[in-house]
Structure 1
């Protein structure tokens, strides 16, 4: 039982399992659901798609909408990875009682692309309405800034921030006169494919979930083709074949910067050592799948060979020759066509000149 379930039982007087959870909604043509999710072959992302607030009418006329998520992912040979995020989408920041009937489409990313290693996905997801005022508004701003600083895409980076995020949310939600839980979910999921899901603020069995669909235009939740007049949160768990922000993985970025510096110094021995260190850093990275580790090592090795050896000079984005003085990790163009060919693509330990 996670933090959100304990909080729900203390404040709302019922566990998260009392709300209706729809694990699979029909995809209305968004191209989100139904894509296979295989261990170490892809990344997964989590988005909140749309929201409807209802319990906020118990608060003052002005309030914030806040989304909290906590994700636990299995890792190879080590402890599970944990990610937490707090989002105060702009369209949820300045609401009042006149807006309670609005469905708000946010498409807010709560977890960036992280490798799927198999096992189960532990997920806590909560939607809160919080009274706007001198006490809680600055606290919400603080927690969302901490969440943004922690990041939602890098496993190692977020760990030191986890206590600050959960403790901040505990302080916010603990103000029971000024905050309410709209809906909450605390569950473990086995993933075989991407999906669209919903948490609905009605007790299980009170609605026929087989009649729930999504409006393809604004992703509002429909019951028998008509807008559902209950509080809810629609979210998606998506497959991604790419980690677009690979160039910002902190430890890999630092190792590449060190490699680039030794190449620029024209010290082949130091450069070779830095290349080996870069390779080790990539191999043990928790933020990349094996295929991308192999690609990244090959790209760095090609750059090393072009600068200090006899290999072909690598081209950057758009076909221009790479300027070694300006090359950053992200400039390695990880997902070009050439990187999908060649031997030993699934084992990063087989790459490199040593």
Structure 2
């Protein structure tokens, strides 16, 4: 049994509802869907786009909207990567019954850019309404903080936090009188392209999926062109060609700091050892696709050569000056600067 199925049974006290899952909604001009997803050629991200709450009226009080997600992805020569997150978007905080008839557009990121290695995406996603109160509100805040600390994009960093996230959700789900599941999905998906999906709070077959579309302005779900009067959650699985937060990958960031310190010491042997260690760290990283690994290593080598004088130098600068302009942080390597150069205050500063 999956984590989410177990949680649903605790909340509902009966067999899990088989809600309607639409795996591919037509893209109404958002340029999200139908971008090819190819193994080791891109990253994937998961966003909640919009949702409508309905069951929360049973709480008859103020409540929180909570989104839980768990994704399992294949990895090269390693066990599957697991990414979990609990989110309480600002627009889902401390709602009341007056909000139940309106669609909430959140476009909240549940999983950051993670390399796609092929195979299947195991996905659990659930939308919960949780009664506001002295016990549950602080618990929700705690679980969302743990989730944020674990990160939604770094495979190695989130792993130690997975038990805390699931245990927190177990505690929330255990309050069966104060927690309601709105919609949920537990499925394996074969990805060939980015897509817009929806979970609708009606039993499978209870709605004609071919008549469902998205409003291009607020991403609400429409049935025959009119707002759907059921609870639902619209989410997207997106292709990304870049990992914008590459500079924060913990082990690579730490290795880069050692390399920078070695270059600054002007010790060739120490620098070569640090560069070799940096290369190994990048090569074995689970958080980057191969093309980005190669690009990052190339830029690190260029930085070493420029700073220590074995590569091109800016005119009029000595080796000491070049050492002074090496990037202070990994992100300053400008991984996605295809021209290979960097600029400080409008002045060209070397090949990285």
TM-score range relative to shorter protein: over 0.9
Q: Is 1:249 matched with 2:249?
A: yes
Q: Is 1:52 matched with 2:52?
A: yes
TM-score by length of 1: 0.92
Deviation at 1:174, TM superposition (A): 1.5
Task: Give the count of matched residue pairs.
Answer: 333
Q: Is 1:187 matched with 2:187?
A: yes
- Tell me, in whole angstroms, the C-alpha distance in 2 between the residues paired with 1:150 and 1:310: 40
Q: Assess, with a 3 A threshold, how the Cα gap between structure 1 residues 93 and 233 changes in structure 2: closer, same or farther.
A: same
- Tell me, in whole angstroms, the C-alpha distance in 2 between the residues paired with 1:239 and 1:113: 8
Residue 308 of structure 2 contacts residue 323 of structure 2 at CA under 8 Å; is this kept in 1?
Answer: no
Q: Deviations over 1:286-314 (max 9, x none)?
A: 00000000000000000000111321248
Matches of residues 82-121 of structure 1 in structure 2 within 5 Å? 82-121=82-121
SS at match of 1:338: coil
Aligned to 1:169: 169
Matches of residues 21-170 of structure 1 in structure 2 within 5 Å? 21-170=21-170
Unaligned runs of at least 5 residues, structure 2: 315-321, 341-352
Residue 105 of structure 1 contacts residue 218 of structure 1 at CA under 8 Å; is this kept in 2?
Answer: yes
Residue 303 of structure 1 contacts residue 313 of structure 1 at CA under 8 Å; is this kept in 2?
Answer: no
Unaligned runs of at least 5 residues, structure 1: 315-320, 340-354
Aligned to 1:235: 235
Deviation at 1:323, TM superposition (A): 4.6
Q: Deviations over 1:217-253 (max 9, x none)?
A: 0000000000000000000000000000000000000
SS at match of 2:40: coil
Residue 264 of structure 2 contacts residue 323 of structure 2 at CA under 8 Å; is this kept in 1?
Answer: no
Deviation at 1:337, TM superposition (A): 1.9
- Tell me, in whole angstroms, the C-alpha distance in 2 between the residues paired with 1:11 and 1:208: 28
- Tell me, in whole angstroms, the C-alpha distance in 1 between the residues paired with 2:60 and 2:252: 48
SS at match of 1:139: helix
Structure 1: which 4+ aligned runs deviate by more than 2 Å?
Answer: 9-16, 321-327
Deviation at 1:7, TM superposition (A): 2.1
Residue 72 of structure 1 contacts residue 81 of structure 1 at CA under 8 Å; is this kept in 2?
Answer: yes
Q: Deviations over 1:153-187 (max 9, x none)?
A: 10000000000000101110111100100001100
Residue 212 of structure 2 contacts residue 222 of structure 2 at CA under 8 Å; is this kept in 1?
Answer: yes
- Tell me, in whole angstroms, the C-alpha distance in 2 between the residues paired with 1:310 and 1:145: 47
Aligned to 2:345: none
Aligned to 1:350: none
Residue 4 of structure 1 contacts residue 186 of structure 1 at CA under 8 Å; is this kept in 2?
Answer: yes
Q: Assess, with a 3 A threshold, how the Cα gap between structure 1 residues 313 and 131 changes in structure 2: closer, same or farther.
A: farther
Residue 55 of structure 2 contacts residue 231 of structure 2 at CA under 8 Å; is this kept in 1?
Answer: yes
Residue 42 of structure 1 contacts residue 240 of structure 1 at CA under 8 Å; is this kept in 2?
Answer: yes
